[in-house]
């Protein structure tokens, strides 16, 4: 097993308000090895995008890292000054955001934006940077890259704009890519091409990818491991095959049960009753306990840590040794 490229340890992100401190991420820990794709999945509000923003140093104030640490290639990066983190972001860590229009300046050609990014992070002159930009556009599947490099973002389709954003993320030859819902607004065929592109980057360049999404189809197709998040915590993490076929946490079971199976004839999809709790109303004990079909007394009092649950690790008291003995 290769040494992890990214290590997140006991990460806690808080948003102070006039009345209280809201805990948005609580004790998040995971790692990603070179060449690995880690999927991060969960409902809206679970903390997926916030985790990615914390890693790349783009938390919106007053949000801040209150505890824990983030290490990239053994070096701690969560406490770096702004300018030092700016050099890491782009050169070592690339970011792909959900809406390409928020990542591209509509007043500049895509070529100008690519060349500026390349020259910021790599020791190339203008001509070399332009050739590198054309190469990136070709690698990301944009036809006639030599001509299209001088076009503006509005002259590209949604799928092509997302490819330009991926080219921008790769401009500094980063070793880690944080992809936040990179396929959400795209057609299914374009989604498949983008996922294939990310997989190829991992294979050919040894890059690690943190893929944030709510689409379990994308997770199943592309990821090596999956972290399932709920109310700012990781509730289950493990190999993608085991998470999909043998989920251990009741929330993960609910997520998998809500996916329609092509070989089953069902009139109604399974659903998880209730809704994600607000940050100022997270219940005591396990945050999922008001919605959990397996809840018992301990769930309402004690908050579980990640426990061994076969091939995965699950934050659920059902997998505590004492409970297993009682069940037996």
> Residue 179: what pLDDT?
92
Q: Residues 94-98: what's their mean pLDDT?
A: 86
> Residue 328: what pLDDT?
41
Q: Residues 110-122: what's their mean pLDDT?
A: 93
Task: Let me know: does 115 contact 77? Beta carbons within 8 Å.
Answer: no
Residue 221 has pLDDT above 90, yes or no: no
**Confidence (pTM):** 0.90
Residue 91 has pLDDT above 90, yes or no: no
Instruction: Please give the Cα distance from 207 to 34 (Å, whole number).
Output: 6
Instruction: State pLDDT tens for residues 142-161.
Output: 899 999 999 999 999 888 88
Integer-rounded Cα Rg, in Å, for the chain is 21
Instruction: Please give the Cα distance from 245 to 180 (Å, whole number).
Output: 25
> Residue 262: what pLDDT?
65
> Residue 169: what pLDDT?
87
Instruction: State pLDDT tens for residues 301-315.
Output: 999 999 999 899 999
Phi, psi of 127 (to 5 degrees): -65, -45
Instruction: State pLDDT tens for residues 40-90.
Output: 999 888 999 999 999 999 998 999 999 999 999 999 999 999 889 988 988
What length does the chain have? 328
> Residue 90: what pLDDT?
82
> Residue 92: what pLDDT?
92
Phi, psi of 189 (to 5 degrees): -65, -35
């Amino acid at each position: 097993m290769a040494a992890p490229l990214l290590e997140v340890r006991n990460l806690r992100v808080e948003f102070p308000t006039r009345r209280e401190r809201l805990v948005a991420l609580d004790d998040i820990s995971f790692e990603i090895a070179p060449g690995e794709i880690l999927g991060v999945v969960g409902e809206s509000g679970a903390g997926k995008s916030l985790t990615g923003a914390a890693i790349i140093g783009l938390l919106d104030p007053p949000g801040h890292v209150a505890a824990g640490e983030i290490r990239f290639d053994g070096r701690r990066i969560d406490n770096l000054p702004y300018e030092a983190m700016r050099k890491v972001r782009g050169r070592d860590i690339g970011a792909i955001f959900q809406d390409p229009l928020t990542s591209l300046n509509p007043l500049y050609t895509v070529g100008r934006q690519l060349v500026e990014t390349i020259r910021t992070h790599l020791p190339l002159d203008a001509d070399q940077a332009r050739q590198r930009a054309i190469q990136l556009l070709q690698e990301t599947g944009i036809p006639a890259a030599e001509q299209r490099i001088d076009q503006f973002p509005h002259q590209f389709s949604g799928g092509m704009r997302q490819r330009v954003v991926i080219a921008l993320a790769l401009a500094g030859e980063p070793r880690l890519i944080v992809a936040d819902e990179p396929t959400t607004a795209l057609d299914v065929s374009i989604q498949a091409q983008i996922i294939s592109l990310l997989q190829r980057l991992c294979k050919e360049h040894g890059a690690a990818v943190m893929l944030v999404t709510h689409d379990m189809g994308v997770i199943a197709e592309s990821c090596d491991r999956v972290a399932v998040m709920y109310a700012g915590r990781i509730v289950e993490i493990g190999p993608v095959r085991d998470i999909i076929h043998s989920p251990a946490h009741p929330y993960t079971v609910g997520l998998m049960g809500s996916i329609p199976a092509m070989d089953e004839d069902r009139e109604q999809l399974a659903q998880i009753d209730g809704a994600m709790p607000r940050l100022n109303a997270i219940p005591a004990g396990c945050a999922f306990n008001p919605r959990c079909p397996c809840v018992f007394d301990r769930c309402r009092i004690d908050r579980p840590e990640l426990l061994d649950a076969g091939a995965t690790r699950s934050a659920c008291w059902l997998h505590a040794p004492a409970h297993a003995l009682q069940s037996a």
